[in-house]
Amino acid sequence: MALLFDIKRYAINDGPGIRITLFFKGCPLNCIWCHNPEGISSEKEKMYTLRKCIGCCTCVKACPNEALTFTSEGIVTDANRCKLCGKCAEVCPTMAMEISGTEYSVDFLMKEIEKETVFFDQSEGGVTFCGGEPLMHPDLLKKLLIICGQRGIHRVVDTSLFAKPELVLEIALLSDLLLVDLKMMDSGKHRYFCGVPNELILSNIRMIAEVGIPFSVRIPLIKGVNTDKENITRTAEFLASLPGNRPEVALLPYHDIAKNKHGKLGSIYNPDEVPMSTPSEEEIHHIREIFLRHGITATVGG
Amino acid sequence: MNLNIGGIKTDGSDGVTEVSYIMLEVLEEIHLLQPGCSIHVSSRTPDRFLREGCKVIRQGHGYPSVFNTDTYVNELLRQGKSLHDAREGGCSGCIEVGAFGKEAYLLTGYLNVPKILEVTLHNGVDPVTGKRASIETGDPLTFKSYEDLYAAFIKQLHYIVDMKIRVNNYIDKMFAKYAPATLLSVVTEDCITKGRDYYNEGPRYNTSYIQCTGLGTTTDSLSVLKKHVFEDKTIPMEKLLYAVDCNFAGEEALRQFILNRTPFFGNDDAYADEIAVKVYDDLYDSIEGKPNTKGECFHLNMLSTTCHVYFGKVMGATPNGRLAGKAISDGTSPSHGADTHGPSAVVKSLGKLDQVKSGGTLLNQRFMPSLLKRESDVVKLTQLIRSYFALGGHHIQFNIVDTATLKAAQATPEDYRDLLVRMAGYSDYFNDMNDDLQQDVIARTENEAF
């Protein structure tokens, strides 16, 4: 069993063809701009959507720990009392109250994946394991990769590569393509923005390139964080220095859409108020040129 | 009228020519309201043609619609047309197909299927008018099981369809006698050789269709009854009937529970889809093969045109949480907003219906422009269509969501629960977003319009 926070069908941004994407819960990184903040914690979490709440207070009555109160700002949860038992989410008629994170078995997930077979066949698509960080669930991930391999289903793993090299190699050899996230080259900055240093990530990228495993690189472009010329040049130099073919690079311009999910989780988005913004078309153009000078074609969007 | 582009030739080979591409180009330039236009795709149709068609779809004018030639040729063959005539056929109006120039295929009237369930739940009385509309099939409070309820529904269905056919046949006789269609008789094959009018057995084929509307609304309502009333027993029948009769006034929590906690059609959910398949097959059984006045017979069609709006107006609330007066679902599309698992799940659900049994099914699919941004996205749309057609789909058309739709979604979120906002690494339902973000998505949609 493993904890997932979403299963997305008709996924068209997560690898070739029409795909189904499984979002594993839990991530060793904690990037301040994270689009899916409910993917960071490896525990179940409560999410509350104010605009769905009709104020019926069914949850307040159902809570065995008296953790909920109804206020002018909707339902407020007392984190000290809440045991995450999920009773509130079970009874909530509008699903304003939800528990993010559901335990799934290999059998169940294979059934979900194979529901999409007709689309895989028509589009050369397949399954993408994403997160959070799928490598935090190695046992279940390996089983799924092996079964999908046996059944001819194309496998993509979208990973931060912040994991032991042995595990990375094992997973990589069971995959058809890796999507590797690369945020920035400076390890100190990486630690500040993402919670961990980046040496392990960079050495893992070099390792999979040396072994010859197909991978492409996804880089979020966040003005104020990593779009400066120095970082982009260092990134391009690093990728150009790797053995084998130049990897494909996808640039993902930043958006502060994650604010919404932080609202649901009751957490605060970007608490240190780091200035972050979307780079302009012109800036993106310059960034692509830098990559091109290093022999790398960078596309925009996943 | 419907401009058919593509399809196959009478020898079964691909019918796409240079002219087909020119027509698509012209369509892209002139924003045509009438006649409707469609592209016809068989397993032999080149990908390039489908791709060019999808580029026009992306413009967001709601056309061309897309037809599966392989499926409808089978439909026409099943009804007894020759292979040559079936291959020369196509769509002449919305989604109904026929043998062009050789057939009078008359749409003899729409059937409000959710109304039949409404009448069943009121033991033969129409609760909107308070008048007896059909036979008594039992007080629903006395039903012991879902099977009892379903049997009553089927009894009502057969009674109403048989009555409809009697009336249709009477009208058809009047047409034959008092309203000859001379011009049509001149241009429709066999009328002159037979010496008979278009409305009076003149054409080579004489088909009568009954068009059933509201498969989604019916399925979802039955799913609520089956799951919550009879299986889980979370909602007593009495309470549900009361809530429906008072249009869910004061029962918003119950209505939300129904909307959010019931398997609905269009999600590739076996529970709901099995009900849909059963209803569809039973509609077929009630209509198929009943004699018309021309020595031929009635067939099932799943066309709604705009009747689902009118039919909704003459109905009270339905057990699936739909409020009184609101439109019922169209053709075979899922109920508005009930399909929350994306377009691949929708076509999987529709693919479970044995569509060759009908003379046409209808699938309207809403699409966010962000799903069609790049050229590769257009290719994936063609693959989605190919997948649906591999599953035996008859027709699909796409309404590209515009800012007006998003504003409507802000006003009535429950009808738009299917709107998924997707970007790389992120996905959320439009309804779940706060006001600021909704405004932001509206602004982006404006920019992404083509």
Q: Does B256 touch chain A (CB under 8 A)?
A: yes
Q: Omega before B35 cis (within 30°)?
A: yes
Q: Omega before A271 cis (within 30°)?
A: no
CATH of residue A91's domain is 3.30.70.20
What distance in Å separates the CA atoms of residue A243 and residue A206, rounded to the nearest whole number? 8
pLDDT score of B158 more than 80: yes
Of the candidate ranges A9-18, B26-35, B222-231, the one whose mean pLDDT is the lowest: B26-35
DSSP output for chain A: -EEEEEEEEEE-SSSSSSEEEEEES--S---TT-S-GGGT-SS-EEEE-GGG-----HHHHH-TT--EEEETTEEEE-TTT-----HHHHH-TTS-EEEE-EEE-HHHHHHHHHTTHHHHHHHT-EEEEEES-GGGSHHHHHHHHHHHHHTT-EEEEEE---S-HHHHHHHHHT-SEEEEE---S-HHHHHHHHSS-SHHHHHHHHHHHHHT--EEEEEEE-BTTT-SHHHHHHHHHHHHTSSSSPPEEEEEE--TTHHHHHHHHT--SSTT----BPPPHHHHHHHHHHHHHTT--EEE--
**A15 in any annotated domain:** yes
Q: Does B442 touch chain A (CB under 8 A)?
A: no
Query: Both tokens of residue A176?
Result: 């058809």
Distance between B443 CA and the closest CA of chain A, angstroms: 14
B96 is catalytic: yes
Sort out which chain A residues have CB atoms less than 8 A from B343's CB and list them: 10
How far is residue B371 from each of residues B205, B380, B385, B446, measured CA to CA in Å? 43, 9, 14, 14
Q: Give me the residue label for tokens 């291959």.
A: B87
Same domain, A110 and A86: no
Cβ within 8 Å of residue A247, ≥6 positions away: A180, A209, A215, A216, A217, A239, A296
Same domain, A90 and A202: no
Q: Does A261 touch chain B (CB under 8 A)?
A: yes
Query: Both tokens of residue B47?
Result: 């990908």
Same domain, A138 and A65: no
B89: left (phi over 0), alpha (psi -120 to 50) or beta: beta
Same domain, A149 and A76: no
Catalytic residue among B52, B75, B88, B96: B96
CATH of residue A183's domain is 3.20.20.70
Sort out which chain A residues have CB atoms less than 8 A from B350's CB and list them: none
Structurally, how many domains does chain A consist of? 2
Q: Give pLDDT tens digits for B126-148.
A: 999 999 999 999 999 999 999 99
DSSP output for A114-125: HTTHHHHHHHT-
**A35 in any annotated domain:** yes
Axis crossing angle, helix B215-224 with helix B113-120, rounded to the nearest 10: 30
Paired with A19 in beta bridges are: A11, A126
Give the per-residue SS3 of A88-114. HHHHCCCCCEEEECEEECHHHHHHHHH
Sort out which chain A residues have CB atoms less than 8 A from B432's CB and list them: 49, 51-52, 260, 264
**A96 in any annotated domain:** yes
Cβ within 8 Å of residue A279, ≥6 positions away: A221, A222, A223, A227, A253, A254, A287
Using the 8-state DSSP alphabet, how is residue B296 labeled? S
Using the 8-state DSSP alphabet, how is residue B34 labeled? S
Alpha-helix runs per DSSP H in B203-306: 215-224, 237-245, 252-261, 270-287
Same domain, A152 and A221: yes
**A1 in any annotated domain:** no
Give the domain range for residue A254: 8-41+103-300
Same domain, A120 and A70: no
Query: Both tokens of residue A117?
Result: 């077979």
Q: Give pLDDT tens digits for B193-208.
A: 999 999 999 999 999 9
Q: Chain B: residue nearest A118 by CA? A: B387
Residue where a domain stops, chosen among A85, A100, A115: A100
Angle (CA) B421-B425-B428 rounded to 5° is: 30
Pairwise CB contact (< 8 Å): B390 & A116: no
Neighbouring C-alpha atoms within 13 Å toward the C-beta of A114: 13
* Start-to-end CA span in chain B (Å): 27
Rg (CA), chain B: 23
How far is residue B346 from each of residues A94, B111, B362, B378, measured CA to CA in Å? 22, 23, 12, 18
**A132 in any annotated domain:** yes
How far is residue B402 from each of residues A90, B405, B431, measured CA to CA in Å? 35, 5, 15
Q: Give pLDDT tens digits for B316-361.
A: 999 999 999 999 999 999 999 899 999 999 999 999 999 999 999 9
Q: Omega before A132 cis (within 30°)?
A: yes
Span B157-168, average pLDDT: 97
Q: Does B348 touch chain A (CB under 8 A)?
A: yes
For the four alpha carbons of A241, A243, A244 and A249, in that order, the dihedral sign comes to negative
Closest CA to A220 of A247, A180, A191, A259: A180
Query: Both tokens of residue B375?
Result: 């050229």
Axis crossing angle, helix B113-120 with helix B146-178, rounded to the nearest 10: 130
Same domain, A109 and A210: yes
**A204 in any annotated domain:** yes
B176-199: b or e for each residue (b if 16 or more CB lie within 10 Å)?
beeebbeeebeebbbbeeeebbbb
Sort out which chain B residues have CB atoms less than 8 A from A94's CB and list them: 256, 260
pLDDT score of B425 more than 60: no
Same domain, A203 and A238: yes
B193 and B287 Cβ atoms separated by less than 8 Å: no
Helix (H/G/I), strand (E/B), else coil: B400: strand
Confidence label for B447 from pLDDT (cuts 50, 70 and 90): low
DSSP element (H, E) containing B211: strand B205-213
Give the per-residue SS3 of A265-301. HCCCCCCCCCCCECCCHHHHHHHHHHHHHCCCCEEEC
Same domain, A52 and A177: no
B246 is catalytic: no
**A115 in any annotated domain:** yes
**A3 in any annotated domain:** no
Axis crossing angle, helix B146-178 with helix B270-287, rounded to the nearest 10: 40
Closest CA to A9 of A120, A134, A101, A131: A120
Same domain, A117 and A208: yes
B15 and B44 Cβ atoms separated by less than 8 Å: no
Using the 8-state DSSP alphabet, how is residue B291 labeled? B
Task: List average pLDDT for each run of 10 residues in chain A, which is 302 residues long.
Answer: 95 94 97 93 94 93 95 92 94 95 97 98 97 96 98 98 98 98 97 97 97 96 96 98 94 85 87 91 96 95 70
Same domain, A162 and A49: no
Give the pLDDT of residue B450. Answer: 47
Helix (H/G/I), strand (E/B), else coil: B6: strand
Q: Does B429 touch chain A (CB under 8 A)?
A: no
Closest CA to B266 of B423, B396, B403: B396
Query: Both tokens of residue A271?
Result: 């608490």
DSSP output for B409-431: HHHSGGGGTT-EEEETTEEEEGG
Of the candidate ranges B75-84, B381-390, B430-439, the one whose mean pLDDT is the lowest: B430-439
Q: Does B428 touch chain A (CB under 8 A)?
A: yes
DSSP output for B80-120: T--HHHHHT-EESSSS-EE-TTTEEEEEEEEEEHHHHHHHH
Same domain, A116 and A201: yes
User: With a CB-CB cutoff of 8 Å, which residues 379-398 of chain B face chain A?
Assistant: 380, 383-384, 386-387, 390-391
